[in-house]
C-alpha cells in the first residue's frame, strides 16, 4: 500500500466527493461502489476497479482482509484512508471502511445477449433512483435475464441506484435505451411483450408468461405511455381490490415476474428437459 491519506483536502478525497455529481462520473467514466456486500458482488460480477480505498478503523467484520486481498490481486491499487477523511468521502451515514472507484460498463441494449426463452423486465421510467435498485434485486430473485430501462436519461451509476441494488447492478444485465429502440430490439429477438395496465380485462395470472417474455411496467403516477400500450403484444392487469394506485411500480413488477416464475416452474416440472428457464431455478 502507498502512504495513508490523512487529510480531507487530499485530491483523491475531493475526487470521491465530486463523483456524487453525474457530470463528473460521465467525464471520468467512473463511479463509486461502497460497502462490503456491494463491492464483493461487484468483484464476483467482474467489475473493473480503478482504486480501492480502505479505512480499517471503520471495518465491521473480519472478512474485509480477504476481499481487499482478492481485489489487490487483480492489480487494483489499494489506498488506506484515515477515518476522518474517509467519512467525508463516504456516501453512507455509517460507512463500513470500503469504497471502490470502478469503471462504468456498457448499458447499450445491443450488448444484451438473450438466451433461449428469456424472461425480461422492462420499465419505462424510474421515478426515484432507489426504485431501480429495488427492481434489480427483484429481477435477480425472479431469475430475470435482463432489465431494460426505457429512459435514456437514467443514470444506473447514480449512488442511490448502486446502494439500493445491494450489488445487483453488477449481477443482473442492465440496458438503458429509448422506447423505440427497445420495442425494435424485443421484436427482432421474437420476445413477446406484456404491458401492465389497469385498462384491460386480462389478468396477469390468465396470460401465458412462459416462453420468451418481457414484462413492461410504467411509472407509478402515470402508468405506461400510449406508445407501449399500443405497440405491446399483450396487455395484462393485476387485480386490485382497493385503490387503483395501491401498488408501486416495483411491487407490480415483482408480482408479475413471480407469476411468470410460477408458470415457468409448473412447465419445468412437467418437462424437465426444457433448457430456457434453467436460470430461474439455478
Among 243, 270, 271, 275, binds a second copy (CB under 8 A): 243
E strand residue ranges, 11-118: 30-34, 49-54, 78-80, 98-103
Whichever of 79 and 148 has its CB closer to a second copy, that residue is 148
Whichever of 25 and 163 has its CB closer to a second copy, that residue is 163
Whichever of 10 and 219 has its CB closer to a second copy, that residue is 219
Can you read off the three cell numbers belonging to residue 91? Answer: 456516501
Among 5, 13, 35, 41, binds a second copy (CB under 8 A): 41
Can you read off the three cell numbers belonging to residue 69? Answer: 486481498
Q: How far apart are CA 87 and CA 55, in angstroms?
A: 9
Candidate ranges 73-81, 178-186, 207-215, 242-250; the one touching a second copy (CB under 8 A): 242-250
What three-state secondary structure class fits 237?
strand
Q: Does 209 bind a second copy (CB under 8 A)?
A: no
Task: Name which of residues 159 to 198 contact a second copy (CB under 8 A).
Answer: 166-168, 171-172
Q: How far apart are CA 129 and CA 184, in angstroms?
A: 26
Beta bridge partners of 192: 213
For residues 119 and 147, the answer to whether their CB atoms sit within 8 Å is no
For residues 159 and 91, the answer to whether their CB atoms sit within 8 Å is yes
Q: How far is the CB of 183 from a second copy (least distance, A)?
A: 26
The site map against a second copy for 56-95 (x = CB under 8 A) is ----------------------------------------
CA-CA distances (angstroms) from residue 111 to 19, 93, 114, 146?
A: 25, 36, 10, 11
Q: How far is the CB of 187 from a second copy (least distance, A)?
A: 26
Whichever of 8 and 255 has its CB closer to a second copy, that residue is 255
CA-CA distances (angstroms) from residue 77 to 53, 74, 199?
A: 9, 9, 54
Can you read off the three cell numbers belonging to residue 13? Answer: 478525497
Q: Does 240 bind a second copy (CB under 8 A)?
A: yes
Among 10, 28, 205, 274, binds a second copy (CB under 8 A): 205
Q: How far is the CB of 32 from a second copy (least distance, A)?
A: 21
Candidate ranges 9-17, 45-53, 96-104, 234-242; the one touching a second copy (CB under 8 A): 234-242
Q: Does 140 bind a second copy (CB under 8 A)?
A: yes
**Helix %, strand %, coil % of the chain (to 5):** 40, 20, 45
Candidate ranges 59-67, 87-95, 107-115, 135-143; the one touching a second copy (CB under 8 A): 135-143
For the chain, report the end-to-end CA distance as a whole number of angstroms: 39
CA-CA distances (angstroms) from residue 242 to 185, 206, 223, 224, 275?
A: 36, 20, 17, 20, 39
The site map against a second copy for 246-265 (x = CB under 8 A) is xxx-xx--xx--xx-xx--x
For residues 162 and 38, the answer to whether their CB atoms sit within 8 Å is yes
Residues of this chain that interact with a second copy (CB under 8 A) are 41, 134, 137-138, 140-143, 166-168, 171-172, 203, 205, 238-243, 245-248, 250-251, 254-255, 258-259, 261-262, 265, 279-282
Amino acid at each position: 500500500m502507498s502512504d495513508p491519506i490523512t487529510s480531507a483536502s487530499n485530491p483523491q478525497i475531493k475526487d470521491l466527493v465530486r463523483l456524487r455529481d453525474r457530470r463528473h462520473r460521465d467525464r471520468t467514466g467512473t463511479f463509486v461502489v461502497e460497502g462490503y456486500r456491494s463491492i464483493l458482488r461487484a468483484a464476483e460480477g467482474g467489475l473493473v476497479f480503478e482504486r480501492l480505498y480502505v479505512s480499517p478503523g471503520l471495518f465491521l467484520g473480519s472478512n474485509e482482509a480477504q476481499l481487499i486481498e482478492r481485489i489487490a490481486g487483480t492489480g487494483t491499487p489499494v489506498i488506506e484512508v484515515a477515518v476522518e477523511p474517509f467519512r467525508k468521502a463516504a456516501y453512507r451515514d455509517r460507512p463500513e471502511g470500503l469504497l471502490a472507484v470502478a469503471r462504468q460498463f456498457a448499458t447499450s441494449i445491443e450488448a444484451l445477449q438473450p438466451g433461449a426463452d428469456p424472461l425480461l423486465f422492462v420499465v419505462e421510467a424510474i421515478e426515484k433512483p432507489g426504485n431501480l435498485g429495488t427492481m434489480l434485486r427483484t429481477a435477480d430473485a425472479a431469475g430475470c435475464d435482463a432489465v431494460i430501462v426505457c429512459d435514456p436519461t437514467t443514470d444506473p451509476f447514480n449512488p442511490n441506484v448502486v446502494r439500493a441494488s445491494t450489488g445487483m447492478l453488477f449481477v443482473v444485465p442492465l440496458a438503458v435505451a429509448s422506447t423505440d429502440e427497445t420495442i425494435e430490439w424485443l421484436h427482432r429477438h421474437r420476445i413477446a411483450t406484456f404491458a401492465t395496465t389497469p385498462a384491460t380485462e386480462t389478468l396477469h395470472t390468465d396470460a401465458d408468461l412462459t416462453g420468451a417474455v418481457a414484462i413492461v411496467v410504467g411509472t407509478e403516477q402515470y402508468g405506461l405511455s400510449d406508445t407501449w400500450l399500443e405497440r405491446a403484444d399483450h396487455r395484462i392487469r393485476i387485480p386490485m381490490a382497493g385503490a387503483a394506485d395501491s401498488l408501486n411500480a416495483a411491487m407490480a413488477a415483482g408480482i408479475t415476474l413471480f407469476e411468470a416464475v410460477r408458470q415457468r416452474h409448473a412447465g419445468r416440472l412437467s418437462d424437465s428437459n426444457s433448457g430456457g428457464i434453467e436460470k430461474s431455478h439455478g
